[in-house]
Amino acid sequence: MARRWLSVFESDLPRLCADLENLVRLESPSGEALLVSGLAQWVCDRLQERGVAAELRHCSPAGDALLAAVAPREGGTLLLGHLDTVWPRGTLASMPWSLDGGRATGPGVFDMKAGVAMGMAVLAAMARETRPSPVSLLLVPDEETGSDHSRGLLLSVARGHRQVLVLEPSQDGAAKVARKGAGVFTVRFHGRAAHAGLEPEKGASALAEMARFVVFVEGRCEPGTGTTLVPTLARAGSADNVVPERSEVTVDARAWTRDEAERATEAIRGYRCVDPGVTVQVEGGFDRPPLQPTPAAERLYERARRLSAELGFELGAARVGGGSDGNFTAAAGIPTLDGLGAVGGGAHARGEHVLISELPRRTALVAALCTRE
Ligand SMILES: [Zn+2]
């Protein structure tokens, strides 16, 4: 079954490459709603031409999402991806599309326009089947900035699907079976200002308290758990001769498991100021839950491994620190396998590239996973 899909996508490869070129040439930076929506419209038009039901869904102010489906019914597969890239408008001028020696380059080619092209190819091929398997494709406009405006749509679409395949890039060819949960805490301290020269003892330094907090929070990362709490931005004070009344620090927080995320959250929220004249206030927290392996997700990965062996390659399993929308669907209890998109490298970097020769079998793997045995 997997090998039949392979021959389909071997013959579809020229069109897949042409789609990829167009996807890269249509720049779609996060936050540029008009550009991102323009790309959503382009994908929508192409899918409709190829016999796939497709529509746009507004995710204001981020732009439009693309939702498409073939033979939709309860228990189908959701292919998940994003339209936006981290590259600002105009990047194409210094990092143009190119296809040379089997490597495609250009802004967003690996993360994740190749995955978008793969998803389009799977739906178009499925629509040509006499008895198609149910498969949907959702491409959100704002994944790179946290999917704040598409999360509700994502969760409501994902419900009713038996599995989610995330077309984010692979990790050196491996699928992503675990992703850390992530979030940002903003911690504010409020002390008492005083003249730093005349009567500093009357002040209560929000800066000194923040410094103690930074040391405290670094000590809460237990080695071996993989939990990281990294103070990243800080500011304090109002003038060079005043005991600082206010200070603020942000903490980048990541954890492999929900338990660890909770432990880290409790540690930060449980901080007590050493100086009785200073108060602390904590905002934020983990907003992307961890993508933790579950028995159902492990079965999904095992099936993917079996199918990839039929296709002539070995599908590794990677655990990665960065999050994706797969974190949300996994936390909602839907078996999720991530990193099923392109093989290549350099995500978010100038060397971003995709290996074209890998596209047919990787796309065949996604189609085979959508097909019931
Ligand atoms: Zn991505």
- Gap from CA of 359 to ligand 1 centroid (Å): 17
> Among 249, 273, 288, where does a domain finish?
288
- Gap from CA of 325 to ligand 1 centroid (Å): 9
* 13-32: pLDDT as tens digits: 999 999 999 999 999 999 99
* 286-304: pLDDT as tens digits: 999 999 999 999 999 999 9
- Gap from CA of 196 to ligand 1 centroid (Å): 49
Q: For the CA atoms of the chain, what is the radius of gyration?
A: 24
pLDDT at 222: 80
- Gap from CA of 30 to ligand 1 centroid (Å): 11
pLDDT at 363: 98
**Whole-number average pLDDT of the chain:** 96
Half-sphere exposure (CA, 13 Å, Cβ side) for 172? 5
* 235-262: pLDDT as tens digits: 999 999 999 999 999 999 999 999 999 9
- Gap from CA of 82 to ligand 1 centroid (Å): 7
Give the structural domain span for 200: 181-288
Tell whether 110 and 142 lie within a shared domain: yes
DSSP-assigned beta bridge partners for residue 188:
248, 281
- Please give the average per-residue pLDDT across 189-197, as a whole number: 96
Percent of the chain with pLDDT over 70: 100
Tell whether 194 and 89 lie within a shared domain: no
Residue 298's SS3 state is: helix
- Gap from CA of 217 to ligand 1 centroid (Å): 29
pLDDT at 348: 85
Asked if 322 and 339 touch (Cβ cutoff 8 Å), the reply is: no
> Among 254, 269, 288, where does a domain finish?
288
- Gap from CA of 294 to ligand 1 centroid (Å): 22
Element (H, E) at 17: helix 2-25
Binned at pLDDT 50, 70 and 90, residue 209 comes out as very high
Tell whether 77 and 173 lie within a shared domain: yes
- Gap from CA of 366 to ligand 1 centroid (Å): 17
- Gap from CA of 180 to ligand 1 centroid (Å): 15
Tell whether 19 and 144 lie within a shared domain: yes
pLDDT at 372: 84
- Gap from CA of 324 to ligand 1 centroid (Å): 7
Strands 228-236 and 246-255: antiparallel
Residue 46 is encoded by which pair of tokens?
Answer: 């192409």
Distance of alpha carbon 239 from the chain centroid: 41
Measured CA to CA, the distance from residue 294 to residue 334 in angstroms comes to: 10
> Among 288, 314, 329, where does a domain finish?
288
Asked if 288 and 328 touch (Cβ cutoff 8 Å), the reply is: yes
pLDDT at 280: 98
- Look at 366 and 351; give whichever has higher pLDDT: 366
Binned at pLDDT 50, 70 and 90, residue 135 comes out as very high
Binned at pLDDT 50, 70 and 90, residue 339 comes out as very high
Domain count, the chain: 2
SS3 content of the chain, % helix, strand, coil (to 5): 40, 30, 35
Asked if 340 and 165 touch (Cβ cutoff 8 Å), the reply is: yes
Closest CA to 177 of 289, 296, 323, 319: 319
pLDDT at 373: 72
pTM summary value: 0.89
- Please give the average per-residue pLDDT across 355-359, as a whole number: 98
Tell whether 304 and 250 lie within a shared domain: no
